[in-house]
Amino acid sequence: MSTSPTWHEKLLGGFRRTSDRLVGNLAGLGGARLTDETLEEIEEALIASDLGPATAAHVRGRLAEGTFGRDMEELGIRLVVAEEVEKTLAKVATPLEVTAFPRPQVILVIGVNGSGKTTTIAKLAHLLMEQDYGVMLAAGDTFRAAAIGQLRTWAERVGVPIVTGKEGGDPAGIVFEAVRQATETGIDVLIVDTAGRLQNKRELMDELSKIRRVLGRLNPASPHDVVLVLDATTGQNALNQIEVFKDVAGVTGLVMTKLDGTARGGVLVAAAEKYGLPIHAIGIGEGMTDLRPFDASEVSRIIAGVERVK
Ligand SMILES: Nc1nc2c(ncn2[C@@H]2O[C@H](COP(=O)(O)OP(=O)(O)O)[C@@H](O)[C@H]2O)c(=O)[nH]1
Ligand SMILES: [Mg+2]
């Protein structure tokens, strides 16, 4: 009889590449005297494992300050890595909170095609429902009929109302109608799907601005959240997307998805370090329950390969 993997087991899978690489890189560096040269090697090993340069420099600094020249076991090094990574991640690990008054809180979900927006919306809706919030979805990706159908299927599965329009229809109009319905029916959270690929970037940004303008006219505080969804399997490319979207789209927070299987989990640390944007949740699969806020300590210990050491 097989049981399905737990959240922790799936996390281990998603960070395996980063963790294996890091542990492999650090192997053999412990037990020796920490010379300048060894410290240099350790710092390079950390950067090669996708951790950002600042976190790597902090680890080096920590190792140099207290223990330089002393014998340092490999496990000791990894514990320092875990502590420093945790400091970086703890600053950004920020669950999405539902605080908007008046309701609804409007969450605009953006990101390039295939990054996992629609799936993340379904998972987020499920997570919020579990917290007893009333959730509604708006199908603002009208670029393809399949995108509308995909969100509708998820809405049925999760059990939340959805507002849709025609393929090729005006997303701003759909969003306007969704806010009206959400207000009328006392919905707490309205989550808006958006298109990730239009003819060109200009058009995509224009469409997002138009949605924002319409929302802002209904309530100046809206959208309350602009969440950029990133695909962790794309490594450095995920960082480039933050660069592209953060200012023009007014990103307020991130969700990192596909942190399962073939993910390059270290990119989570790199993103945290470089941009300092709140990271609301991480996604580790295609199921409804595969999205959660993350525990900076747990993730750091997994990355550093010390999760079983107390
Ligand atoms: N393994 C894995 N696949 C995911 C995850 N999130 C989304 N996907 C898959 O990635 C593909 C694109 O997701 P979708 O939500 O349609 O992306 P969108 O184009 O940004 O809306 C789909 O095949 C999803 O099933 C995840 O956390 N893990
Ligand atoms: Mg989609």
Domain ranges, ordered by start, for the chain: 7-90, 105-293
Whole-number Å distance between alpha carbons of 175 and 215: 8
Q: Which atom of ligand 1 has the smallest separation from the CA of 112?
A: 20
How many CB atoms lie under 10 A from the CB of residue 60?
20
Q: For residue range 260-281, what is the model confidence (pLDDT) as tens digits?
A: 877 788 889 999 999 999 999 9
Query: What tokens appear for 286 in the block?
Result: 């295609």
CB 103 within 8 A of CB 183: yes
Q: What is the pLDDT of residue 73?
A: 80
CATH number given to 7-90: 1.20.120.140
Q: Which atom of ligand 1 has the smallest separation from the CA of 115?
A: 20
CB 7 within 8 A of CB 123: no
115 CA to centre of ligand 2 in angstroms:
8
82 CA to centre of ligand 2 in angstroms:
35
Q: For residue range 118-176, what is the model confidence (pLDDT) as tens digits?
A: 999 999 999 999 999 999 999 999 998 999 999 999 999 999 999 999 999 999 999 99
- Give the residues surrounding ligand 1 with Cβ less than 6 Å away: 111, 113-119, 196, 257-258, 260-261, 283-286, 290
Please tell me the pTM assigned to this model. 0.95
Q: Which atom of ligand 1 has the smallest separation from the CA of 257?
A: 27
Question: Smallest Cα–Cα separation from 179: which of 131, 143, 214?
Answer: 214
Enclosing H/E stretch for 268: helix 266-275
Domain covering 105-293, topology = Rossmann fold (3.40.50)
The highest-confidence range among 18-27, 75-84, 259-268, by mean pLDDT, is 75-84
79 CA to centre of ligand 1 in angstroms:
33
- Protein residue whose Cα sits closest to atom 25 of ligand 1: 286
pLDDT above 80 (res 207): yes
CB 268 within 8 A of CB 50: no
- Protein residue whose Cα sits closest to atom 13 of ligand 1: 116
Q: Which of 117, 286, 294 to mutate to test the pocket of ligand 1 (most atoms within 8 A of CB)?
A: 286
